[in-house]
Structure 1
Amino acid sequence: MDNNIATAVPAYLTHYANEPKPRENLIDFVKARPEVQDVASLTPVAEYEMRLDAIMEIRRKHSESMGEPDFKLSVLQFYYLIRLLLSDLQRVAAQDDISAILLRHQLNDLINLTDYSNNTKVLQPSRLSQLTSGSRASLSQSERSKGRDDVEKDKCLGLDNNMCVVTGQPHPHVCHIVPFAWNKKASNKDTTTRFLPLMDLYLGLPREDATREALGLLTLDLGSSDRVWNMICLNPALYDWWRRGYFAFKYLGAAPSANAPETSLIKLQFVWMPRYIRQGTAKQPVNLDQQKEPTTRIEAALTHRHGEQSRLCSAELDCATCTQAKGVNTHHVLAHRPPRAPENISRPRPSPKKEAKPPRSGSSKIPIRTVAPTTQAAKKAAGRSRVTAQPRQKSENIPPRAGSSGA
Structure 2
Amino acid sequence: MAQSFGVPILEPEYKEGTRSQSIIRPAVPLRADALFPIACLQEPELDKRYGQAKKIEVAIKDIYPWFSFRVEQLAVILLVGIEDLRGSGHLSPTTCSPYHLKDRVCDVSPFYMLQLDPRNLDQKHWGHVISKAPKWQPRLDIEMHPDQVALSIYYNSRFRTGKSVENLPPGFHKEAESKCRERDKKRCVVTGRDNPRIFWFIPRGWNDTVEHNNTTGNLEGGCIFLTKIDLLDDIHSATELGKTHEAWNMLCVDPAIYNALTQGLCAFSFIRKKDVDDRTSEVHLKFFWMPILRGRFDQIVNLNEVEGCFPIKRGNKPVTFDHERVEREGKEELSLDLSMFQHRGCPMPRQVDSERTAISDPPILSGKDVVIKMPKRESELFETVVRIHWACVTFAALCGGAGRAWYLTGKKQVDGSFEPRDEQFRRDGARKNEHG
Please state which band the TM-score falls in when normalised by the shorter chain.
0.5 to 0.7
* Structure 1 counterpart SS, 2:284: strand
Q: 2:38: which partner in 1? A: 41
Aligned match of 1:273 in 278, 290, 303?
A: 290
2:390 paired residue number: 370
Partner of residue 21, structure 1 = none
Structure-to-structure mapping, 1:310-389, within 5 angstroms: 324=351, 326-330=353-357, 337-352=362-377, 365-368=383-386, 369-371=389-391, 373=394, 375-378=396-399, 380=401, 382-384=407-409
The one-letter code matched in structure 1 to 2:50 is: L
Contact 2:271 2:285 in 1 (8 A): yes
| 1:248, distance to aligned residue in structure 2 (A) | 1.2
Which residue of 112, 119, 123 corresponds with 2:119?
A: 123
Q: 1:113 to 1:257 in 2, by over 3 A?
A: same
Is the 1:331–1:339 contact (alpha carbons within 8 Å) kept by the matching residues of 2? no
Residue matched to 1:113: 111
> Is the contact between residue 409 and residue 418 of structure 2 (CA under 8 Å) also seen in structure 1?
no
SS in 2 for 1:288: coil
Paired residue for 1:288? Answer: 303
**Alignment identity in percent?**
19
> Is the contact between residue 51 and residue 89 of structure 1 (CA under 8 Å) also seen in structure 2?
yes
SS in 1 for 2:273: strand
Residues of 1 paired with 2:346 and 2:103: CA distance? 40
Q: Specify the SS of the correspondent of 2:198.
A: strand
Separation in structure 1 between the aligned mates of residue 252 and residue 117 of structure 2, nearest angstrom: 22
List aligned pairs for 1:212-223, cutoff 5 A. Answer: 212=230, 216-219=234-237, 221-223=240-242
Shift of 1:193: 2.0
CA contact (8 A) 1:309 1:325 kept: no
1:226–1:271 Cα change, 3 Å: same
CA contact (8 A) 1:36 1:340 kept: no
Q: How many residues align?
A: 310
Checking the alignment, whether the CA contact within 8 Å between 2:287 and 2:368 is kept in structure 1 is yes
CA displacement, residues 40-63 of structure 1 (integer Å, 9 cap, x when unaligned): 332342332222111101111222
Residue of structure 2 equivalent to 1:67? 65
**2:428 counterpart of 1:392:** no
Q: Partners of 1:347 and 1:243 in 2: how far apart?
A: 20
- Residue type of the partner of 2:44? A
Matched, 1:161 2:185: yes
Shift of 1:144: 6.0
Offset of residue 302 of structure 1 = 5.7
Name the structure 2 match of 1:77: 73
* 1:15-54, Cα deviation, whole Å (9 max, x unpaired): xxxxxxxxxxxxxxxxxxxx95533332342332222111
| Distance across 2 between alignment mates of 1:312 and 1:175 | 22
Counterparts of 1:194-209 in structure 2, within 5 Å, are 194-202=218-226, 205=227, 207=228
Q: CA deviation at 1:370?
A: 2.0
SS of aligned partner of 1:233: strand
Is 1:53 the equivalent of 2:51? yes
Post-superposition offset of 1:325 = 5.8
* Aligned twin of 1:16: none
| Contact 1:274 1:303 (C-alpha < 8 Å) held by counterparts | no
**In structure 2, the residue corresponding to 1:370 is in which secondary structure?**
helix
- Letter of the aligned partner of 1:370 in structure 2? W
The residue aligned with 1:24 is none
Tell me, in whole angstroms, the C-alpha distance in 1 between the residues paired with 2:120 and 2:368. 28
Tell me the TM-score normalized by structure 2.
0.60
Asked if the contact 1:276/1:377 (under 8 Å) is kept, the reply is yes
Amino acid at match of 1:266: V
SS in 2 for 1:338: coil
Gaps of at least 5 residues in structure 1 are 1-34, 126-142, 314-320, 396-407
Question: Any idea what SS the aligned residue of 1:252 has?
Answer: strand
Q: Which residue of 1 aligns with 2:249?
A: 230
Q: Tell me, yes or no, if the aligned pair for 1:271 and 1:341 is still in contact at 8 Å.
A: yes
- 1:36 to 1:288, Cα distance in 2 relative to 1, 3 A: closer
What displacement does 1:265 show? 1.1
Larger Rg: 1
Q: How many angstroms does 1:364 deviate by?
A: 6.7
8 Å CA contact retained: 1:331, 1:337: no
Aligned partner letter, 2:244: S
TM-score scaled by length of structure 1: 0.64
Give the secondary structure class of the aligned counterpart of 1:267: strand
Superposition pairs of residues 115-194 of structure 1, within 5 angstroms: 117-119=113-115, 122-123=118-119, 145-147=168-170, 148-194=172-218
- CA–CA distance in 1 between the matches of 2:419 and 2:71? 22
Amino acid at match of 1:250: S
Pair 1:364–1:323, CA change in 2 (3 A) = closer
The 1:124/1:194 distance shift into structure 2, 3 A limit, reads closer
Deviation at 1:212, TM superposition (A): 3.4
Is residue 299–residue 374 contact of structure 1 (8 Å, CA) maintained in 2? no
CA–CA distance in structure 2, aligned partners of residues 367 and 201 of structure 1? 16
